[in-house]
Amino acid sequence: MTDMLGGLAQEVVSGIALGCIYALIALGFTLIYKATEVVNFAQGELMMVGAYVNFFIVTALLDIPMLDGALGFLLAFAGAVAFAFLFGTFLDLIINRPLKDEPVFSVIMATISMAIILRAVMALIAGPMTRLPLSPFGSGVIKVGGLFISVHDLFIISSAIVLVCGFYYFFNRTKWGIAMKATSEDPMAASLVGIPVKKVYRNVWIFSMVVATIGGVLLAPRTLLDTNMGFLGLKAFPAAVLGGFGSVPGAIVGGVIMGVIETVSMGTLSFYFPWVKEINDIVVWIVLIAVLMIRPAGILGREEIERV
């Protein structure tokens, strides 16, 4: 009995780590949705691009004797974030600007085709091989009261918490954050009160690309780096919806719930129903649909009340 409980606790812990990964991606979805009401289907691919850029710089720096350790990693990380700034600006320029008067549906389709393009371009540049980047935090494991957790997972969890708190503060307390919220309510009214709407849009895309890069850099050592990494975006999408699309704390709530459900159901149910392969996928979706039936805007999402 204690054995089973211990196993369950271990699964919950690894579920939380997995959930924080989802939360990092979901946060990117949330940022863009919050300001532009666009669901960015390329979020997973943006993460992949960020991870690859970081990996390329790290391998390039390996040859320089001074820079093959932590310093090199930090430099590479800074480089990847700088690239994220440029790339975010570029995405705003080619996706958001030309389509700003089109229905949201078209913009979503544009992000889907952007996802296809990015995956193909990355495959052409990087080749079909799967890479294994080393974790900058080493491969240590901490044991707390019979539970194991790797140092790397701890970093993932803490950075997810830091980012979510940071963005929560940003959206509720700072001038730019409130300007972004106002823009999503009504771009016309926002520009009338002097909010530079174009700049807001650009910053949103940059932020979300930076968040994606941070997520990608943290994820790559855990999930292996190949061009299919972007499909994680499709799994983080339900997490974002479960927590409430457009809600910053919702990203981490939804992510953790999804992650825990996934690992726990994999650990327990697949034992009793061996004939259903990957039962965790089904359970995740059923939970999601059930939650949406009860709370149509997700757990922390606010239902939009329309004025007629």
The residues binding other proteins (CB under 8 A) are 39, 94, 98-99, 101-102, 105-106, 108-110, 112-117, 119-121, 123-124, 128, 234, 237-238, 241, 245, 275-279, 281-282, 285-286, 288-289, 292-293, 296-298, 306, 308
Q: Residue 236 CB, nearest distance to other proteins (Å)?
A: 12
Q: Residue 175 CB, nearest distance to other proteins (Å)?
A: 28
- Contact between 97 and 104 under an 8 Å Cβ cutoff? The reply is no
Q: Residue 205 CB, nearest distance to other proteins (Å)?
A: 16
How far from each other are the two terminal CA atoms of the chain, in whole angstroms? 58
For other proteins, the closer of residues 251 and 288 by Cβ is: 288
Q: Residue 33 CB, nearest distance to other proteins (Å)?
A: 8
For other proteins, the closer of residues 143 and 272 by Cβ is: 272
For other proteins, the closer of residues 163 and 279 by Cβ is: 279
For other proteins, the closer of residues 5 and 308 by Cβ is: 308
- Contact between 151 and 221 under an 8 Å Cβ cutoff? The reply is no
For other proteins, the closer of residues 67 and 232 by Cβ is: 232
Q: Residue 225 CB, nearest distance to other proteins (Å)?
A: 17
